[in-house]
Chain A
Amino acid sequence: AQTVTQSQPEMSVQEAETVTLSCTYDTSESDYYLFWYKQPPSRQMILVIRQEAYKQQNATENRFSVNFQKAAKSFSLKISDSQLGDAAMYFCAYSMWGAQKLVFGQGTRLTINP
């Protein structure tokens, strides 16, 4: 069964600094998708960034980028120029290609210090 592990329950960063959140996953599949979702205090899950496993180029969305290491099964999220509004729980998620199920990690709580 596929599993997703986020080894950092909590992280903190100074405003305007850069922070990296870690995620590893376990799968025997070669085609799959990876996601980072943000859950602010409102608790709505908001898509931050996504990556297709067959693409070697790392995805970027403005201040958010990933470091996708397929052989190592690692998918870290880098947030540059951290802002107060970035404070939230961040969840890494995996989906096998064509499957219905999203498998989530346990989350990392990110605090931004002003």
Chain B
Amino acid sequence: SQTIHQWPATLVQPVGSPLSLECTVEGTSNPNLYWYRQAAGRGLQLLFYSVGIGQISSEVPQNLSASRPQDRQFILSSKKLLLSDSGFYLCAWRGLAGGMETQYFGPGTRLLVL
């Protein structure tokens, strides 16, 4: 079965520091991968998605970037964090189950920028 991992689970970083969040998927090959952000008390906003190694699409202009160095690895980065980068970051992969494309989410990373 497929599993998705994210780390770290929680991160507290000062403004201006760099960021690297990692997401890995097991049990599938060449998955579509996604990074979402959830601000407090709100729904999810798609940040980036990737359909293959080195292929990144950005949904919103921002202080963040994404990379996919390996088939099942997706990384979210920043060179200098802003206070507004605080939030809950979720990684997801898309699978085909019962003939229907469905996104499945990882456990998430809580980021607090101080």
Does A associate with B in a complex? yes
Complex CA–CA separation, A83 to B90 (angstroms):
26
Per-residue A-contact encoding for B23-57, CB less than 8 Å = 1, 0 else: 00000000010100010011111100101000001
- Give the residue of B32, B43, B49, B105 whose beta carbon is less than 8 angstroms from that of A107: B43
- Determine the chain A residues whose CB is within 8 A of the CB of B57 once the complex forms: 100
- Determine the chain A residues whose CB is within 8 A of the CB of B46 once the complex forms: 100-102
Q: Do A91 and B43 touch across chains, with their CB atoms under 8 A apart? A: yes
Complex CA–CA separation, A107 to B100 (angstroms):
23
- Determine the chain B residues whose CB is within 8 A of the CB of A95 once the complex forms: 101, 103
Q: Do A102 and B103 touch across chains, with their CB atoms under 8 A apart? A: yes
Closest beta carbon of chain B to A63's beta carbon, Å: 19
Q: Do B43 and A42 touch across chains, with their CB atoms under 8 A apart? A: no
Q: How large is the interface on B (under 10, 10 to 19, 20 to 34, 35 or more residues)?
A: 20 to 34
Q: Do B42 and A107 touch across chains, with their CB atoms under 8 A apart? A: yes
Per-residue A-contact encoding for B60-104, CB less than 8 Å = 1, 0 else: 000000000000000000000000000010101010000011111
Q: Do A44 and B108 touch across chains, with their CB atoms under 8 A apart? A: yes
- Determine the chain A residues whose CB is within 8 A of the CB of B38 once the complex forms: 43
Q: Which residue of chain B is the closest to A46 with respect to CB atoms?
A: B105
Q: Do B108 and A100 touch across chains, with their CB atoms under 8 A apart? A: no
Q: Do B44 and A44 touch across chains, with their CB atoms under 8 A apart? A: no
Asked if A47 lies at the interface with its beta carbon under 8 angstroms from chain B, I say yes
Closest beta carbon of chain B to A10's beta carbon, Å: 11
Asked if A104 lies at the interface with its beta carbon under 8 angstroms from chain B, I say yes
Per-residue B-contact encoding for A40-77, CB less than 8 Å = 1, 0 else: 00111111001010000000000000000000000000
Per-residue B-contact encoding for A1-29, CB less than 8 Å = 1, 0 else: 00010000000000000000000000000
- Determine the chain A residues whose CB is within 8 A of the CB of B44 once the complex forms: 45, 91, 102, 104
Asked if B107 lies at the interface with its beta carbon under 8 angstroms from chain A, I say yes
Residues of A within 8 A of B (CB): 4, 33, 35, 37, 42-47, 50, 52, 91, 95, 100-102, 104-107
